[in-house]
């Protein structure tokens, strides 16, 4: 596995016996850098173990990811975030808390899900408060487009789930329409986070605007 030290970007190699998670302080980083940007990621290699994989798309400052990883040590969590400063913040907190089951990938999540995550790999995607791009001329930037939804479906294991939340009603309706009309998904009860799992965005804007939530399961 190649990983980068947070400050210098220098690559280091971490080797541990199969099935044993290295302590974050031993590797010095939770950030992963793919060997290349063309071939499928060796996700189990990043974690040094085979375990259920959950992916936080646009994890931001990581309040949800950190809480979820702490309460589910048996699950591997991959946070994908394009802002370096946020990735570093989540990494610092995870290291401080001794969390060994988080890895962080600084990249465009759309690219990662479409091209780098192998098929039938992910147990759950969390997509909480993705940028809504409210202006009409910017809406093509929204991550939950038809191709991304196809990629979510392809990379999910059978029975895998997508949990989506937004405070932007038009975006919610668009995503709801797309997921409802996708034959490979069925709507299930929405994921309601425990208080400590509410995302930074949700905590910041709590009570100011209604939040819409939608969850689906891969059925075929």
| Residues of this chain that bind ligand SAM (CB under 6 A) | 58-60, 80-83, 86, 108-110, 128-131, 143, 199-202
CB 25, min distance to ligand SAM, A: 26
Q: Which helix (H) or strand (E) holds 123?
A: strand 122-128
In angstroms, the Cα distances linking 185 to 18, 102, 130, 213, 216 are: 35, 27, 20, 16, 6
Check if 131 is active-site: yes
Q: How far is the CB of 201 from ligand SAM (least distance, A)?
A: 3
Which C-beta is closer to ligand SAM: that of 59 or that of 116? Answer: 59
Q: Cβ closer to ligand SAM: 60 or 160? A: 60
Q: Which is nearer to ligand SAM, 195 or 220 (CB)?
A: 195
Within 13 Å and on the Cβ side, how many CA atoms surround 46? 24
Is residue 69 within 8 Å of 99, Cβ to Cβ? yes
Given 42, 120, 131, 147, the catalytic residue: 131
d(CA 174, CA 76): 30
Minimum CB–partner distance for residue 15 and ligand SAM (Å): 29
Write out the catalytic residue numbers: 131
């Amino acid at each position: 596995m190649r990983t980068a030290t947070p400050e210098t970007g220098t690559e280091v190699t971490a080797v541990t016996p199969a099935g044993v998670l290295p302590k974050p302080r031993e590797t010095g980083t939770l950030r992963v850098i793919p060997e290349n940007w063309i071939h499928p990621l060796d996700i189990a290699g990043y974690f040094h173990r085979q375990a259920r994989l959950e992916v936080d798309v646009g994890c931001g400052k990581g309040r949800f990811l950190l809480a979820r990883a702490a309460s589910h040590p048996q699950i591997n969590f991959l946070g994908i975030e394009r802002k370096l400063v946020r990735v570093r913040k989540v990494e610092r907190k995870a290291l401080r808390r001794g969390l060994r089951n988080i890895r962080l990938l600084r990249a465009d999540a759309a690219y990662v899900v479409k091209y780098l995550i192998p098929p039938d790999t992910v147990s759950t995607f969390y997509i909480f408060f993705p940028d809504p791009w409210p202006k009409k001329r910017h809406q093509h930037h929204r991550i939950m487009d038809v191709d991304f939804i196809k990629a979510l479906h392809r990379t999910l294991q059978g029975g895998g789930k997508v949990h989506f939340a937004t405070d932007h009603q038009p975006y919610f309706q668009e995503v709801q329409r797309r997921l409802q009309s996708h034959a490979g998904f069925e709507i299930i009860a929405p994921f309601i986070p425990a208080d400590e799992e509410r995302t930074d965005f949700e905590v910041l804007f709590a009570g100011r605007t209604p939040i819409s939530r939608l969850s689906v399961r891969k059925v075929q």
